[in-house]
Structure formats: C-alpha cells, structure tokens
Chain A
Amino acid sequence: MGKYILKRILIAIPVLIGITIIDYGIMCLAGSPLAMLQGPRVSEGALEAKRIALGLDKPFYIQYFVWLGQLLCGNMGYSVKSYQSVASMIGSHLGPTLLLMGVSLLVSLLLAAPAGIYSAVHQYSKGDYAVVTLSFLGSSVPGFFLSLLLIYIFTVKLGLLPSSGMITLGTEGGAGDVAKHMVMPVIVLAASMAGSNIRYIRSAVLEILQQDYLRTARAKGIGRFKVIYKHALRNALIPIVTVIGMEIPMLFGGAIIIEQVFSWPGLGLMTMSAISNRDYPVIMGVCLLSAVVVLVGNLLTDILYALVDPTIQLQ
C-alpha cells in the first residue's frame, strides 16, 4: 500500500511541474500588466522603473524560475492591482468557496446516490425513466440560466431568498443568514453535478447487479432486500468514491460562474475580477491552486479506491 501511494505521488510530480510551465506559458502570452498602468499621466521613465521593479525586463524563463523559487518559499507574489500578497488574498477568499463547494458536494451526493441506486434496482420502470430524464435535465441546464430562474422566482416574485452576497449588508450575519444566502447557489451547483452523477452511479450499480456473486446470493434465497442492501450497496461505494473525485474539478469550474452570478465572496469572484484586471500573479496563483487541488483530489481518489476495493491490484 505504501509503495502504491509513493508511486502515485511520484507520477504526480512531473504533471505538477508541467502544470506550472503551462500556467506560466499562458500568462506570458497574455501580454504585459504594464498595459493597465499606461495613461497620459504615467511617464515613460516611471513605466520603465515599474518594469524593472516587477522583473519584467528579464527573459521569460528566468522570470519563471524566479517565480518558481519564490513559490517554493511559500511566496506566491503580490497582486499588481491591490499590492496584497496573493497567498493572503487566496486565504481570505478560500473559506466561502470551500463552504459552498463542500455543501454542494454533500447535497449532490445525497441526491445522486439514492436516486442512482433506486433507478438501477428498478431498471426500465416508470421511476427509472423519470430519474434518468430528470438527470439529463440537471446536466443540460446552464448553471447561470438556472440561477436567473431561481432569482426570478425566489427573490423577485416570492421575496423569500436573498440573491447576492454571503451575509445581509449592515448586519453581523450568523449561521442562519449565511445558510439563507447559500440556498440558491447550492441548488444550482448540486443540480448540475447530480445530473451526471446519477447516471454514473446507475450504470455502475447495474453492472454490479449482474455480477456472479449477486446471482449466487439470490440463488441462496436470502431475499431481494438483503441481496440489494447488504451485498450490492457495499460494492456501490466504489463508484460513489469515483464520483467524488470527478466532481472536484467540476466544482471549481462551476463555482467561478455561480459565484459571479450570486456575488458570493469566494475564489471565483476574486478570479473573475483578477481576469478582467489582468492581474497575472493572482490568476496564476488561482490556476496553480486549483490544478494542485485537482491533482491531490485524483490522488486521494486513487488511494481511497484502493482501500475500498480489495480486488484492485497494487503493483
């Protein structure tokens, strides 16, 4: 087991280095952040001084190594716009995003696991068709359109839920207030994820139901209920673990747009404003962070997979 984990980590390292190179390459294509400073009031000399101060006069590969060296010391650079350190900016925005992502992940799993298992056990029944059709609807509705619809219904028409931010302005907030603000973003994120997860879990459970050991269990005559809930469900854990791994990049991506729509003060909102301000250090920090999170997520999934599935071969 230890050897297997070590091997997975060793494979992840070159991918990680590649990610930083791609990350850096994209940013080099983006052009100079000095373009944002330019204006009639800024003199050539001041621009030149700024260029040297930011290290933009050196060749790009040296800039890359300087950046990488700083990174290893835990310094992710400073925002060109607000002069805050990127690490502290990410740190202060990470909480709300993690909260939103965690709750959405939980809700989507609580929806998808029972629905997928029900649908597989009752294959080709009316309930199965309804679940599958709904799951297609969930993965086909663009998140921002669903958000607009929800805002239209719950905020504009019914006046039940707040449509933006994390706490009501001018108040202290509190758990109840945050929960109220979270309802709509969580519905949107969970719906889009649950859509694809239901079908994934359904087909995985269908495959399990056809296995020989289940036929044996049925043949022993221990009853349908026990067969499904004792023998099949334990094995259905494996696809559910895979689903959690697949969801992490989707969550990060989905959160960017949904946070923008609901003005949720998380990483996504920060990233969008960094993108429109061409604030490279911040964009690179976020890209790197999310890529690392995805890599670690995949790694953890692989390891969990090996723990849950005793038949997997650890070479």
Chain B
Amino acid sequence: MVIRMDAQYTENRKIATESYRQTIVRRFRKHHLASFSLGVLLFLCSAAILAPVIAPYDPDAMVGPFSGAPCKEFLLGTDQIGRDVLSRLLYATRVSLLVGVMATLISTVIGVILGLIAGYFGGVADMLIMRFTDMVMSFPYILLVLVAASIFKPGLWNIILILGFVDWPGIARLVRGNVLSLRETNFVKGNIVAGMPLRHILFSEILPNTVAPILVYATSVLAISMLDEAALSFLGMGVQPPSASLGNMLNGAQSLTILTSQPWLWIPPGVVIVVLVIAINFVGDALRDALDPNSEKR
C-alpha cells in the first residue's frame, strides 16, 4: 500500500513538473487509437516520400501484361495498359498527400490572416470579411469546387489552389472568435497600453495563443481536402492521367469490367484513402484533447 502511494506521489510530481510539450505528449499517448494512427500516417508518408526509391517499377511505364492479376512479380497486379499498380499507388499517395497538405497550408494562411484582421480591427473590416465568409459558405462546398475545376484547366496545382481558396471560411471564423476573446485579456491590453507595434501584438501575442485550435481545425481541413481531391479526380476533373492520384486510380472502376472482375485496380487506392483520412481524423481528435487546457479536469 505504501509503495503504491509512493508511486502515485512520484507520478503526480512528474506531472506537476513536466513541460507543456511533455503534457501534450502524455495526454496524446492516452489515445491508443490515435497513437497507432500516427504510426500508420508516418509509415504511409514515408512510403510516399520514398516512392522513387522503393517503387518496384516506373509508375508510368508499361512493364507487364494488360490487367494482370496480382502475382509475385506485380504484388498488386497491373492496370489496363500494363502499368504496375503498386508503384502507381505509391506515387498516387504522394500526389494526394501533396494536394492535401498544400491546400491546407493555403487555406490556413488565408483564414488566419482574414480572421486576425476581422477579429482585431472589428468595425467595417469585420463586417465586410464576415459577410464575404457567409457568402462563400452559402455555396455548397463541392459545387463551388466543381465549377472552379471546370473553369480552370484541371491539373495538380490548379486543384491545390482551388481547394486552398475554398476551404478557408471555417478557419477565418475560428480565428476571429479567438481573437475577439483574446483582445479583451489583460496581457493584450497591457501590450496596447505599452505601445507595442501592431505586428508584435498580432503575431507574437495573439497568434501563438490561438495556434492550438487552428492546428486541430487544420487536421480536419487536411482530411476534407484529401477527400475532395479524390472525389474530383474520380470524376475526371482533378489530377489528370498519366500522373496517378488516389482518386483517378478509382476512376477506372466506373467501367463495369474493372468493377466486377478486376478488384485489384480499385480496392487498394480506395482503402489507402480511407486509412489516410481516418488516421488523420483520429490524430486530430486526440490533438484536440491533448491541446485543450481544460481536458485534465474531467
């Protein structure tokens, strides 16, 4: 009994003296599913980054029989024109991750800037920005993306830009709300009274205090933009062949022969999308708990 209390005591002491980063890591590791997801994500990301090294074949070269079933030589079979599916899958994961990450970065930057301006300055700027946000949010998201994708030539960078420019309203609203409440805190008022430059107040005082919710929100934007890239490419309006993306590898499944008799062509990319998106969502959920200053109280 004494020993157990002792262990409890050292445990509590450890918690009391740990740094902020250690707290986050400890809380995050409580979510076993999220820790596992993080491992899966790291594995898939490194596989995608190392694609040129580990892919057994050139993804665009015809190396085997047409529509060959999986065998020793081609682990996931070959597609209609004899390209290796495994190699294409690796490169496709790379493209889809690139689209997701870049689109998320763009929309986060836009959202943060607009949210900071609207929240901090208020008045006319706030009104204009928020009404504009309302307007963009009123269009069904995927309709806007589809229309934009049909206007601009489909292609990797256009998809990234389109998704980036459509995804920001949620982040802008989130940042604005946080800035509004931070503006009323004493440390920000203190800075204003001390005559600190605006740039310092916005980017060194307010922004660091709202990074945690932005990070959590960005993970969901990442998941959504990867799903949207897949949907667009599936409809033939996203990443164009011959370059592979997870969505356009599924495009072939719209034909009945592939759907019915060549499942190795469409099930693997679909499974990779699901695994990637679900892992991102789990990590985001655990991050929300780990970064929330109130989560210890429950």
* Main SS at interface, chain A: helix
Contacts A136-B282, A148-B266 given; does A253 touch B131 at CB 8 Å = no
Residues of B within 8 A of A295 (CB): 138
Shortest A183–chain B CB gap in Å is 18
Contacts A26-B151, A142-B270 given; does A249 touch B227 at CB 8 Å = no
Contact B140 A133 (CB under 8 A): no
Task: Report the separation of the CA atoms of residues A294 and B234 in the bound assembly, to the nearest whole angstrom.
Answer: 26
Interface range on chain A: under 10, 10 to 19, 20 to 34, or 35 or more?
35 or more
Residues of A within 8 A of B40 (CB): none
**A104 close to chain B: CB less than 8 A:** no
**A10 close to chain B: CB less than 8 A:** no
Residues of B within 8 A of A254 (CB): 142
Contact B132 A140 (CB under 8 A): no
Residues of A within 8 A of B234 (CB): 142, 144, 257
Contacts A14-B131, A143-B231, A252-B143 given; does A133 touch B150 at CB 8 Å = no
Count residues on chain B whose CB falls below 8 Å from chain A CBs.
40
Which residue in B138, B141, B142, B223 is a CB contact (below 8 Å) of A19? Answer: B138
Task: Report the separation of the CA atoms of residues A261 and B266 in the bound assembly, to the nearest whole angstrom.
Answer: 15
Residues of A within 8 A of B137 (CB): 249, 294
Contact B134 A257 (CB under 8 A): no
**A313 close to chain B: CB less than 8 A:** no
**B250 close to chain A: CB less than 8 A:** yes
Best-buried of B138, B144, B259 by chain A (most CB within 10 Å): B138
Contact A256 B281 (CB under 8 A): no
**B235 close to chain A: CB less than 8 A:** yes
**B274 close to chain A: CB less than 8 A:** yes
Residues of B within 8 A of A250 (CB): 140
The interface of chain A, by Cβ under 8 A from chain B, is 14-15, 18-19, 22, 26, 29-31, 133, 136-137, 139-145, 148-149, 151-152, 156, 249-250, 252-254, 256-257, 260-261, 271-272, 275-276, 278, 283, 286-287, 290-291, 294-295, 298
State the 7 A-B residue pairs at the shortest beta-carbon distance, nearest first: A253-B142, A140-B278, A252-B140, A145-B270, A140-B277, A253-B140, A18-B135
Residue contacts A-B, CB under 8 angstroms, 10 given: A14-B131, A31-B151, A136-B281, A139-B281, A144-B234, A249-B139, A252-B140, A253-B142, A256-B140, A271-B146
